[in-house]
Structure 1
Amino acid sequence: MTCDLCKLLAAPTDAVVWRDDKLAVVLVDEPGYPGFTRVVWNGHVKEMTDLAPQDRDHVMQTVWKVEQALRGTMAPHKVNVASFGNMTPHVHWHVIPRYTDDAHFPNPTWGAKQRDASPESVAARAALLPQLRAALVTSLES
Structure 2
Amino acid sequence: MLSPYIKLNDNCGLCSKLRSANSDKDFLFDGGHNLYIFKSPFAEKWPGALMPIFKRHIYEQSDIRPSDLPDTLHTLVCLEKALRKVTNCKRMNLVKFANISHHLHWHLIPRYHNENYSNKCSWELENISREKIYSKIEDSFFENASLYEQIKNQSLFEIKNRGSPYFGCALFLRPIDKEIRNKFFTLSLDEIIQLARKNPEQWECLLMKRNYHDFAWDFIGGNCEINEYPEFGMIREVKEEVGWNITKYKEVTRQWKMGAIKGIVYLAIPENENYLEDDPERVHCAEVETVKYFNLIEIINSSNFVDSVKGRIKAFIENKADFDSIDQ
The interval holding the TM-score normalised by the smaller chain is: 0.7 to 0.9
Q: CA deviation at 1:125?
A: 7.3
Identify the match of residue 39 of structure 2 among 27, 30, 51. 27
CA distance in 1, matches of 2:15, 2:116: 30
Over residues 78-109 of structure 1, what are the superposed CA-to-partner deviations in whole Å (9 max), with x where a residue is unaligned?
01112112332322121110013236422111
Q: Normalized against structure 1, the TM-score is what? A: 0.83
Q: Who is 2:138 aligned against? A: 120
Q: Normalized against structure 2, the TM-score is what? A: 0.39
Give the counterpart letter for 1:65 in structure 2.
Answer: C
Identify the match of residue 123 of structure 2 among 104, 110, 114. 110
Identify the match of residue 4 of structure 1 among 4, 13, 27. 13
Flag the structure with larger Rg.
2
Percent identity over the alignment?
23
Q: CA deviation at 1:36?
A: 0.7
Q: Is the 8 A contact 1:17 1:136 kept in 2?
A: no
Moved over 4 A (4+): none
Give the counterpart letter for 1:100 in structure 2.
Answer: H
CA distance in 1, matches of 2:143, 2:121: 19
Greater percentage in strand: 2
Larger relative contact order, structure 1 or 2 (CA cutoff 8 Å, min sep 6): 1
Give the counterpart letter for 1:120 in structure 2.
Answer: E
Count, aligned residues: 142
Aligned alpha-carbon RMSD (Å): 2.4
Change (3 A) 1:103 1:129: farther
Q: CA deviation at 1:122?
A: 6.2
Change (3 A) 1:34 1:103: farther
Is 1:15 aligned to residue 33 of structure 2? no
Q: Is the 8 A contact 1:83 1:92 kept in 2?
A: yes
Is 1:138 aligned to residue 150 of structure 2? no
Structure 1: stretches of 5+ with no match in the other structure: none
Q: How does 1:27-106 map to 2 (within 5 A)?
A: 27-29=39-41, 30-102=43-115, 104-106=117-119
| 3-state secondary structure, aligned to 1:84 | coil
